[in-house]
Structure 1
Amino acid sequence: MACLRKLSCILGLVVLVPLVCEARVLAPSGFVQVRGTRFFLNGSPFLFNGFNSYWMMNVATEPSDRIKVSDVFREASAAGLSVCRTWAFSDGGDRGLQTSPGVYDERVFQGLDFVISEARRSGVRLILSLSNNYHDFGGRPQYAQWARNAGVAIGDDDDFYTNAVVKGYYKNHLQRVLTRVNTITGVAYRDDPAIMGWELMNEPRCQVDYSGNTVNDWAQEMASHVKSIDSKHLLAIGMEGFYGDSMPDRKQYNPGYQVGTDYIKSNLIREIDFATIHAYPDIWLSGQDENAQTAFAQRWMESHLADAKAIIRKPLVFTEFGKSKKDPGYRISARDTYMNAIYLDIYHLARGGGGAIGGGLVWQILAEGMESYDDGYEIVLPQEPSTNAIISEQSTKMTSLQRTLG
């Protein structure tokens, strides 16, 4: 590790220009685009198998730890994974990107620069999420607390969606991230084709308005703001897929409750380019057996794809799914069976739907030696060959289907 730290210092001081040139040479060409219900890249349909590694910027803040980011991109690329979803936020706290409203830690920003540059080198496209519903890495609660600290009358954290001061904080973050010029590649984020798209928030929820209207109004305002800064990249809201009041009959597909979002209404926003869903039946339906949980996930996917095709008329990405090692009676064979069932459904729906479902992103991939980031869903590809094989097979099938559609 000491050698890595010295090497990074030498590279940073002496070999800056070659690094910039190398990144540009290896950079992906063309921006991912949407036409109707399909993703396209350089004029051809774009289908993918992908993964989540939310931790990348946080880890890359320390130069001696950046090898973990490089390792995951290398291992993921070898498994055919071509899209990665990760955080472009960290609000307050340890290694905070935004340490207070409008104040940014350059050291952390350079960690994100490294993540994007490594994605470019690996040929992996990024979906970058811009905030969090939860208190992890700050998120919505931190924005509300910053406003309270400034003397703003904040009732609860859901004022994030409606308070003008808080919305101003968030818009400033959008501006700072989207216009950031990467210190390694020299390319502004908003001009970088290695970024597939942005997400407004990871899993927005609102307890004071279960209709979905409050989150919808916020998403409309912020989506318009993003597109006023960056018209090149795709944009998603970051929703889990819960149905709201706009089509009450669709609530039957929710797992028995609502979270204050409306999958259909919000994804109809003109500036939103693709819809997303997450599914964690082992949490949402914790009292049911594995067969019931798998069946729920498949119904969840199928109902949302049908709505994406017929009503929303935009592509769908299954941006989070997985099975926890912390589940009672966990066996790696059970996780592999579940993942294989989800992958098969993604493939069959993509084939039958003409590409309306772009792909799935498993939660989550770690590098070796990252036990502190274990959440039960972690996959370390070199250590779990059976799961790696299932992931690689799905990548091959999606690539083959992409060629067929092209």
Structure 2
Amino acid sequence: MKLKIMILKFRTIFFLAIFLTEFSAFAQQEFVKVENGHFMLKNKEYKYVGANYWYGGLLALKGNEGKQRLKKELNFLKRKGVTNLRVMLGAEGTSTYKFRISNKDVLQPQKGEFRDSILFGLDYLLNEMQKRNMKAVLHFTNTWEWSGGLSEYLKWNNYPDSPNPKDEGYNWDTYRQYITQFYNCEPCKKDVDRYINYILHKSNSINGLMYKNDPTIMAWEIINEPRPMRSENNEAFALWMKKTASLIKSLDSNHLLTTGSEGAIATDNNMDLYKQLHADSNIDYLTIHLWPKNWGWFKDTAINASFSNIISNTKIYIKKHELVATELNKPLVIEEFGLPRDLHSFDIHSTTYERDKFYKAVFNIVDNSSVIDGTNFWSLGGLARPIPGQTFWKDGDDYMGDPGGEEQGLNSIFIKDKSTWKIIKHYAKEN
């Protein structure tokens, strides 16, 4: 009898081990991986057309109205073939500065103080995305002030404040000099490490999945638009990126990791530094952004007059980063690209002929590329509406694709923008 019981126990353990092994292998297929320079999902190449939805994790905090808006927008995106969303994990710090995220929606209001209640919004988003077989790319912090970002870590560690972009007396050089101090601030960097540890030990309050075990998440990003800001800090910047990448991968081996980089523009055209950041074995794919307006590829409202220059610069910029991706044998993603409405209008009823041509040109380049596996346009305005006569966001307004520091309606794609969605859907269905 004892022998039979032992045999039965052995068989149970044996078959349980086989089941767990097969289940684990099946579960791993649900995560996006990189093989031979391309994204893979369920043993097939994964290419996507996605959107930036930076505020997606905040909508469910707005009660039933916010949840309904979120579900309607996700359903709309799904119908258009847009199934990859780039989202902000959380904002840092509170401020009287008007041109940033509302204080009540901040994840980390004070150094080391995290509001679990704010993460409910992200939990809700991820759970709804899971139902629709969508993937998320989540970035930890931000170079820019509209969500707090690096400047908050400096302030928390007793660095004197710096003027923000809409403050009187602001200038770019002063701001750069302020932000670059972060890379030599050891307590600042430890504070970001604490934030990362907090996120990667959290579970979704709705479905119970630990974030690091959730295949709805495609990738983590270290930071939105990392920049050394000053060339003398290139080494310190690169070292911080490398150490942070190592930390994230040590805590989560399931998900992909990338930098969030704009490309050469972020390193003062130092392609060696860009390559160094993405050659790291912990970085799974390369990113670039495309901003013709911000980078001076046209002036004022002269989008039409400068369109050939915009496209020429776009092709050159993409190509030099494709060469690095090919050399590193890693995928490249154009994870931000945008253009204002015609005549630089913020009116939701204005036309988008030039933007549509720009989107089509970018998608055509991607279609003919052997290394670009994904795009995320900037960004979804969805069901939100700019308020006539009001240029900038104010606390209490609906969030839309343009963050607080940008004119509302500048780059947002609203659900009513039918001609743009026709182009997006066409290219999304080809992937």
Indicate the TM-score class for this superposition, using the shorter chain for normalisation: 0.7 to 0.9
Residue 80 (1) aligns with residue 95 (2):
no
- Select 1:273's aligned residue among 256, 260, 284: 284
Q: Which residue does the alignment assign to 1:35?
A: 35
Q: Which contiguous aligned blocks of 4+ residues in structure 1 show a shift greater than 6 angstroms?
A: none
Amino acid at match of 1:97: L
Within-5 A mapping of 1:390-401: 390-398=423-431
In the alignment, is the contact (CA less than 8 A) between 1:241 and 1:262 conserved in 2? no
Q: Which residue pairs with 2:111 in the alignment?
A: 101
- Give 1:109-258 correspondences, 5 Å limit: 109-148=119-158, 156-209=178-231, 212-242=234-264, 257-258=268-269
What is the aligned counterpart of 1:358 among 368, 373, 396? 373
Question: CA offsets, 1:176-229, max 9 Å, x none?
Answer: 112210001100000000000000000011223267333211110000000110
Residue 163 of structure 1 deviates from its aligned partner by 1.5
Give 5+ residue unaligned stretches, structure 1: 1-26, 246-256, 399-406
Letter in 2 for 1:157: I
Q: Which amino acid aligns with 1:269?
A: D
* Alpha-carbon distance in structure 1 between the residues aligned to 2:232 and 2:76: 41
Confirm or deny: 8 A CA contact 1:39 1:45 kept in the other structure.
yes
The residue type paired with residue 414 of structure 2 is: V
Offset, 1:292: 0.5
Q: How far did 1:384 drift? A: 1.2
Does residue 1:384 correspond to 2:395, yes or no?
no
Written as runs of structure 1 = structure 2, the 5 A alignment for 1:50-65 is: 50-64=50-64, 65=66
* Residue type of the alignment partner of 2:281: R
Aligned to 2:93: 92
Contact 1:212 1:261 in 2 (8 A): no
Q: Greater shift after overlay, 94-103 or 283-292? A: 283-292
Match of residue 305 from structure 1? 322
Q: What TM-score comes out, normalization by structure 1 length?
A: 0.81
Taking structure 2 as the reference length, the TM-score comes to 0.77
* Alpha-carbon distance change, 148 to 261 in structure 1, aligned in 2, over 3 angstroms: farther
Report Cα offsets for 1:234-292 as digits up to 9, x if no partner: 000100011788xxxxxxxxxxx559992211101110000000011122123381110
Q: CA RMSD in A?
A: 2.3
Deviation of 1:66 (Å): 2.1
Partner of 2:365: 345
Decide whether the 8 Å contact of 2:54 with 2:87 is kept in 1.
yes
Q: Matches of 2:90 and 2:111 in 1, distance apart?
A: 12
- Paired AA for residue 185 in structure 1: N
CA distance in 2: counterparts of 1:325 and 1:34, whole angstroms: 36
3-state SS of paired residue (2:90): coil
Question: What CA distance in whole angstroms lies between the structure 1 residues aligned with 2:37 and 2:132?
Answer: 27
Larger deviation, residues 27-36 vs 383-392: 27-36
Alpha-carbon separation, structure 2, partners of 1:309 and 1:72: 35
- Identity, in percent, stands at 24
Q: Distance in 1 between matches of 2:69 and 2:245?
A: 33
Residue identity matched to 2:417: E
